[in-house]
Chains A and B, each alone.
Chain A
Amino acid sequence: MDTVIKKEDIRKPENLVYKKTPLLTDKVMSYCPGCGHGTAHRVVMEVLEEMGLQDKTIGIAPVGCSVLAYEFMNIDMQQAAHGRAPAVATAVKRLFPEKFVFTYQGDGDLAAIGTAETIHACNRGENIVIIFINNGIYGMTGGQMAPTTLPNMKSSTSPYGRDVATMGNPLRITELVAQLPGTLYVTRQAVHTPVAVRKAKKAVRKAFENQKLNKGLSFVEIVSNCNSGWKMTPNVANQWMVDNMFPYYPLGDIKVNED
């Protein structure tokens, strides 16, 4: 009964169900193997492809591991100074109100040096999307402690673990901006499993659709791994993230707008 199907019969254009979106360039990404940045890039670009916004979108690249995001995202991009991506996005959106504008930032960029720009852009209710990748560490510069580093988490500048008494508490900036009246949609997602990626994609899609409403800022946090900075293999880092990051940074919508 079982007829043998040749692989050549399956590998035909009419049977294609998934391929890398053309909105990502063919360059090999500069990220470490297993880094969530690559998946997050793809999620954002797939949403833009589905919405047909390739020539209507301007992205703002941050400083950090994703500083070269403009090399991989095949759309109009602008690189901002460290932490200033929401300020640049504000200017771009006010000059080109018909364009879709988003920033793509890490936690060292958004929650440390760019805290003021982030909070004020959210409070002003700029009509932009902020994609925030939180891996609890400064990945690019060698795994130093960031504001989002967990209590007792080891990093290269907290080798005995983060001591809350002397180094302060981790910053839940997503909950912080959710309280501001300028934000319309605030959510926290992850990209470590297929289910999480599909949920994150829905959240990013909702964020970009919110830009059509002109009612405020949409903020999507993506909790990600940093296997090099955490000194783990990718799958172990993903499990560590589930066990340690998610209790402090619980996934789910924090503020949802009514459509």
Chain B
Amino acid sequence: MAKMKGDIVIDIDKCKGCEVCIPACPVDVIGVSKNVNGKGYNYVETVNDECTGCTNCAVVCPDGVITVYRKKIE
């Protein structure tokens, strides 16, 4: 069966660390970083590479900081 492999790119300068994307992710890819961005928010980052590219996180992100890529793997 073809498997989908995804990846997300987070614009950490614009992320406000609201964490709405974390419960939206079905495979728990996203976690809060220990570091802060220029505005002082603890931005989110990917914590593993289970991403399937389902776009749920990007769809709920209020600030639209997440870009999603998806590739089919044979």
Contacts and interface: CB of A to CB of B under 8 A. Distances in A.
B58 A192 contact: no
Nearest to A29: B63
Interface residues of A, number: 37
Interface residues of B, number: 34
A193 B60 contact: yes
B62 A37 contact: yes
B73 A5 contact: yes
Given A36-B62, A235-B20, 17 more contacts: A5-B5, A9-B71, A10-B69, A12-B69, A16-B67, A19-B67, A21-B64, A29-B62, A31-B62, A32-B16, A34-B19, A34-B20, A35-B18, A192-B20, A198-B59, A234-B18, A234-B20
28 contacts: A3-B73, A5-B5, A7-B7, A7-B49, A10-B70, A12-B69, A15-B70, A16-B68, A16-B69, A17-B70, A18-B58, A18-B66, A18-B68, A19-B67, A21-B64, A28-B39, A29-B63, A31-B62, A32-B16, A34-B19, A35-B18, A36-B62, A42-B62, A197-B60, A233-B19, A234-B19, A235-B20, A238-B20
Interface of A: 3, 5, 7, 9-12, 15-21, 24, 28-29, 31-39, 42, 191-194, 197-198, 233-235, 238
